[in-house]
Amino acid sequence: MRPLHAVVMGVIGLAVVTAGCGGAIPSSNGGPATLKLDGKYLVDQRGQSVYLFEKDEGGESYCTGACAAVWPPLETSTAPSAGTGIENGALGTIKREDGDMQVTFHGHPLYYYAADASTPGKTKGEDVEQFGSGWYLVSMHGDPLEPESVSGSNSGSNGGSNGGGGGYG
């Protein structure tokens, strides 16, 4: 039982660290979702940055459990709508394992990052390697945005890099 104890303590520790990020964890609370372009990357209606997980493929989310606690899925109860710079046809949803509907962009599930708190404009999740793969801001075409092309962001140090984007075509 020791390994399970270590995992549980790790998740609790992560929750404590996340809680200390200076604000509430971003969440859509399953309400209506509108996405728009903020310069070079996708944000929700409040200006909160959204990310893609390179491990996701085939329109499926591979971020559950502890991963979803750090990277909350952008969920909705209605069809997502397109804001400035986004084509409505690029938006969709998938059903998660828990039955909730997650917003997709060009077929890729979208997430928030807990360390961004609920502060619009934060991009601390850009080019982070966690839960077995890379996390990136999303370009207007649904591709991972290369870190050097995020100008004017307040991302700061994010604790890791996998050396590049890609993974979606």
pLDDT of 114 reads 96
pLDDT of 4 reads 43
- Number of structural domains, the chain? 1
pLDDT of 149 reads 62
Residue at 111: amino acid letter: Y
Q: Evaluate whether residue 62 is within a structural domain.
A: yes
pLDDT of 29 reads 74
Rounded to the nearest 10 degrees, how much is the dihedral formed by the CA atoms of 53, 55, 58, 63?
-70
Q: Which domain holds residue 50?
A: 2-149
pLDDT mean values, one per 10 residues, the chain (169 residues) = 42 41 68 91 95 95 97 95 94 95 96 94 96 97 82 44 38
pLDDT of 147 reads 80
44 CB contacts (<8 Å, ≥6 apart)? 28, 33, 34, 35, 36, 50, 74
Q: Evaluate whether residue 42 is within a structural domain.
A: yes
Smallest CA-to-CA distance from 147 within 131, 121, 128, 133 is with 128
Q: Token match 């397109």: residue?
A: 82
Instruction: For residues 82 and 84, give the distance between their C-alpha atoms in angstroms, rounded to a whole number.
Output: 7
pLDDT of 23 reads 65
Determine the number of helices (DSSP H) and then strands (DSSP E) in the chain.
2, 9
Q: Evaluate whether residue 159 is within a structural domain.
A: no
Q: Evaluate whether residue 164 is within a structural domain.
A: no
Instruction: For residues 25 and 112, give the distance between their C-alpha atoms in angstroms, rounded to a whole number.
Output: 8
